[in-house]
Structure 1
Amino acid sequence: MTLTLASAASLLSQHNLLREVVHGDVWQLDASGIDGADTPFEKLSYDTREIAPGTLLVCKGRFKPEFLDGTAEKGLAAYVAETDLSERTDRPGLIVNDARKALSLLAAEFYDHPERELTLVGITGTKGKTTTAYFTQAILNAYSGGRCALFSSVDNCLDGHAYAESDLTTPESFDALRMMREAVDNGMTYLVMEVSSQAYKVQRVYGFTFDVGAFLNITPDHISPIEHPTLEDYLYCKRQLIANCRKLVLGSGCKHINLLREDAAAHNVPVSEFSVFDNLEDHYDPEHLEDLPATCAWAVDCTHRAYHMRVDGVDLGEYTLDLDGDFNYRNALAAVAIAHAAGVPVDSEAMHAMEHTKVPGRMMQYYDEGANTVVIVDYAHNYDSVVKLLDYVDVRYGEENPGITLVTGSAGNKALDRREGIVQAAQDRIMRFVFTAEDTDTEPYEDICRDMANCITNDRVKSSTIIDRTKAIESAVEKARSDADRLDVVLIIGKGHERWIKDLNKHVPYEGDDCVVERLLR
């Protein structure tokens, strides 16, 4: 579908976003009478560095008027902005109330609405989004013959099998729709995507309707001056997924669940809830399993290495995952429930595809039996996820009374509550902290590490700071391996398999936590 100045003005007007069209001294409500108003744009962009002949530029975010200088010579055809920029360019301007919403609508039109050709699955929650997304994609891929795309905080996949590292949990709307078009052209029929709170905060998914939405859980996170000022705002943004989906899969243990149910009822969205029990006998009489929730799972035995699952009242039997951790069985049950809501029959063999699915950067375990050392690389990055990781270590290795070292940093310039949260979650359960670089915009790594060290209140736990992340991992692993008389567990969290560290708002190449460990243990 072609996008022109006239059709763009009409579209934005239909959605009550257009204030006026400006061209020189002429202000009007549509593009009539403007030369070239019916000429198709050759390109849509939100980056002045990418302007080519025939470009419609959307000026969003922290756009400075001087960015328009010289763009006419590069081929700027028109612009979209929240203020009149005619002092900087003689090109027509579409003045709107919200440039981010406008970008999403215009991108959908420019790429001929690829979102309408896909079964869209959106997954939100404080933790578990990525793993659940990978599990869901595995099931849908198995069911559809490899026709499921993926947008995640780790990787994007547009052809069902090739993965490329992503920059954002949820892509900018323009990038999402561009990739959706590529996925459709590649023959994809499903798309599973993580939907962050920021995606709704800054309108990255404006205009999207998810065929299946999943709300896994909610705990405090992303609270900072540049993210969400309060937990209420964080939850409110996440709740928007419910208003924008056709079916909802909901974690029954979710905080504020009554509010989420009310959201669903207000928007006439049918809800399927799922529950996971560590010990079934503590909740239900084994002789009356007919009283169980329709969708639930429970540990088979005390080792928690397998879980029994049932979905929509149908018994699916035991599931065993290659990805360790009790919390991942909750993610697995969510994935099965999501896939069923997306149309996969509960008795389909495809439901077992996730059993052998691994997620980059999640629960990657390495063993050095000669040195009696276990190293785990994981993306845990807040209080709750660190608690879950340490719970796993306690269940698997607690009887051996291991010495535990936690290599961690925290995000700079945002999510300030994570720093104290990580320390509080770990300080009474580990032997040593090694604070190091993670990701930051402008805040110095040293300041972040000092903040975390100052949160320690247990004088029995040791701590050190090694800013160079590679050297921090090397030091922690080498120290653990030097003590073969006891089991040592080194937990390296926050970066997973990412091949960069964000410094001064730029991605700086980095070997990767997993690669550092593999090299050391080789």
Structure 2
Amino acid sequence: MGAMNRLIELIHDLPVETIFNSSLPEVLVRSIQFDSRSVKPGDLFVAVKGESVDGHRYIPMAISNGAVAVVGSEEVENLTVPYIRARDSREVMAWLAAAFFDHPARSMCIIGVTGTDGKTTTCNLIYNILKAAGLRAGIISTVNAVIMDEEMDTGFHVTTPEAVDIQRYLRLMADKGITHVVLETTSHGLAQHRVTGCEYDIAVVTNITHEHLDYHGSYQDYLNAKARIFEMLNETVDKVGGNPRLAVLNADDQSFAPLKLKVGERFASYSIRGRGMVNAEEMEYFADHLKFKARSQDFSFVVDCPFPGEFNVSNCLAAISAAWYGLGISVEAIQSGIFQT
């Protein structure tokens, strides 16, 4: 997973409150695991409470497999290794992973895209715009992670990868000289702290519809989970390359009004109905592509997108808003990036 890290340094780096069952010994951590079956000698085991499985039940197995320390949220006694207790072990795992890999997101510009629909397409549009602008870009989606010319499968293809995997990908990207990363961010990823510690600089929302309520319970809870990405903009550390801290909102979506209350002064909005800062005009739809004019008080240019459908006009506008207002990317690079997606 990387170089060995001192447990005491990982724990003291945490921005959340923790309780120890004893003084922390001078222990080296080889990797971080939340599946007891994957634990090997030298690993730190994080006991996570899932919907159907409680990781605290498997602490003895993790220790017998060689775990040198355990993190959990329940009261546990009589362990033979240090036990670090916190309110939310998933949150602790995310920050531990970020610290284990030396906070790679702090050396790159992180662009997060969330929403019910259009996340993957919008991520790829932004990613290709970044490349067209000559930037060293990477992408982590629910489908794959692309680091330079290397493509890696990210697993289940339905949600954001686990925190340890995300931080590992980010570390690989930083070591390869990547400067900008597009991170597809699901509501599960936000609610389960998979993206905690990712230090977002730009946050984009596509739309928020009445889906995934089986997990979140209500539309308001779903909205709150998505809104967490905008709160995280203000929690990002100051970076050498600057902090855009830009929120990008869909002015046509029912989420616009409540989300606008949660973002700061730095935001951009987009619309296919003339309601945003960036709007679409003169839309033409074809069987295999679409054309429209993107207009704001700062620009007006024609967009040729290789994807059909009105919803892809919105996806393009979201990408344009992030690229122009968040990163100052030229019209030519935006046009070229969208066309080549």
* TM-score over 0.5 for the pair: yes
Task: Say whether residues 1:77 and 2:68 are aligned partners.
Answer: yes
Deviation of 1:160 after TM superposition, in Å, equals: 5.2
From the superposition, tell whether residues 85 and 319 of structure 1 become closer, same or farther in structure 2 (CA, over 3 Å): same
Deviation of 1:351 after TM superposition, in Å, equals: 3.7
Residue 320 of structure 2 aligns with an amino acid whose one-letter code is V
SS in 2 for 1:171: coil
From the superposition, tell whether residues 252 and 346 of structure 1 become closer, same or farther in structure 2 (CA, over 3 Å): farther
Q: Which one of 7, 23, 26 corresponds to residue 5 of structure 1?
A: 7
Deviation of 1:2 after TM superposition, in Å, equals: 6.4
Q: Which one of 31, 36, 41 corresponds to residue 53 of structure 1?
A: 41
SS in 2 for 1:103: helix
Say if 1:295 and 1:313, in contact at 8 Å, map to a contact too.
no
Distance 1:302 1:96 in 2: 53
Say if 1:307 and 1:319, in contact at 8 Å, map to a contact too.
yes
Q: Which one of 90, 94, 104 corresponds to residue 104 of structure 1?
A: 94
Deviations 1:385-444, CA, capped at 9 Å, x for gaps: xxxxxxxxxxxxxxxxxxxxxxxxxxxxxxxxxxxxxxxxxxxxxxxxxxxxxxxxxxxx
Task: Say whether residues 1:67 and 2:51 are aligned partners.
Answer: no
Which residue number in structure 2 is paired with residue 296 of structure 1? Answer: 279
Distance 1:170 1:332 in 2: 22
Q: Which one of 227, 243, 262 corresponds to residue 239 of structure 1?
A: 227
Distance 2:278 2:150 in 1: 29
Pairing 1:427-438 to 2, within 5 Å after superposition: none
From the superposition, tell whether residues 215 and 312 of structure 1 become closer, same or farther in structure 2 (CA, over 3 Å): farther
Q: Unpaired segments of 5 or more residues in structure 2?
A: 234-244
Say if 1:298 and 1:309, in contact at 8 Å, map to a contact too.
yes
Deviation of 1:338 after TM superposition, in Å, equals: 1.2
Which residue number in structure 2 is paired with residue 326 of structure 1? Answer: 310
From the superposition, tell whether residues 39 and 312 of structure 1 become closer, same or farther in structure 2 (CA, over 3 Å): farther
Say if 1:298 and 1:307, in contact at 8 Å, map to a contact too.
yes
Distance 2:293 2:139 in 1: 27
Pairing 1:148-227 to 2, within 5 Å after superposition: 148-159=137-148, 162-164=151-153, 166-167=155-156, 168-224=158-214, 227=215
Deviations 1:212-257, CA, capped at 9 Å, x for gaps: 0112222110011xx1111111111111112112111111112142
Deviation of 1:301 after TM superposition, in Å, equals: 4.5
Residue 296 of structure 1 aligns with an amino acid whose one-letter code is N
Query: Given the two structures, how large is their TM-score scaled by the length of structure 1?
Result: 0.57
Distance 1:129 1:294 in 2: 20
Which residue number in structure 1 is paired with residue 266 of structure 2? Answer: 270
Deviation of 1:73 after TM superposition, in Å, equals: 4.5
Residue 195 of structure 2 aligns with an amino acid whose one-letter code is V
Q: Which one of 121, 128, 136 corresponds to residue 138 of structure 1?
A: 128
Deviation of 1:319 after TM superposition, in Å, equals: 1.8
Which residue number in structure 1 is paired with residue 16 of structure 2? Answer: 15
Deviation of 1:198 after TM superposition, in Å, equals: 1.4
Deviations 1:91-140, CA, capped at 9 Å, x for gaps: 11111111011001111110000011111001111211111011111111
Which residue number in structure 1 is paired with residue 247 of structure 2? Answer: 248
SS in 1 for 2:226: helix
Identity %: 25
Q: Which one of 14, 22, 29 corresponds to residue 41 of structure 1?
A: 29
Deviation of 1:341 after TM superposition, in Å, equals: 3.3
Deviation of 1:348 after TM superposition, in Å, equals: 3.6
Say if 1:107 and 1:173, in contact at 8 Å, map to a contact too.
yes
Query: Given the two structures, how large is their TM-score scaled by the length of structure 2?
Result: 0.86
In our comparison, the structure showing a higher alpha carbon Rg is 1
Say if 1:159 and 1:187, in contact at 8 Å, map to a contact too.
no
From the superposition, tell whether residues 63 and 8 of structure 1 become closer, same or farther in structure 2 (CA, over 3 Å): farther
From the superposition, tell whether residues 144 and 46 of structure 1 become closer, same or farther in structure 2 (CA, over 3 Å): farther
From the superposition, tell whether residues 109 and 64 of structure 1 become closer, same or farther in structure 2 (CA, over 3 Å): closer
Distance 1:194 1:250 in 2: 16
Distance 2:127 2:149 in 1: 8
Which residue number in structure 1 is paired with residue 300 of structure 2? Answer: 315
Say if 2:73 and 2:85, in contact at 8 Å, map to a contact too.
yes
* Root-mean-square deviation over aligned CA pairs: 2.4
From the superposition, tell whether residues 6 and 326 of structure 1 become closer, same or farther in structure 2 (CA, over 3 Å): same
Distance 1:42 1:319 in 2: 49
| Aligned residues between the structures | 322
From the superposition, tell whether residues 163 and 352 of structure 1 become closer, same or farther in structure 2 (CA, over 3 Å): farther
Which residue number in structure 1 is paired with residue 240 of structure 2? Answer: none
Deviation of 1:39 after TM superposition, in Å, equals: 3.3
Say if 1:126 and 1:216, in contact at 8 Å, map to a contact too.
yes
Residue 146 of structure 2 aligns with an amino acid whose one-letter code is C
SS in 2 for 1:337: helix
Deviations 1:43-72, CA, capped at 9 Å, x for gaps: 222122222221111111233444233444
Highest RCO, 1 vs 2 (Cα 8 Å, sep ≥ 6): 2
From the superposition, tell whether residues 39 and 297 of structure 1 become closer, same or farther in structure 2 (CA, over 3 Å): same
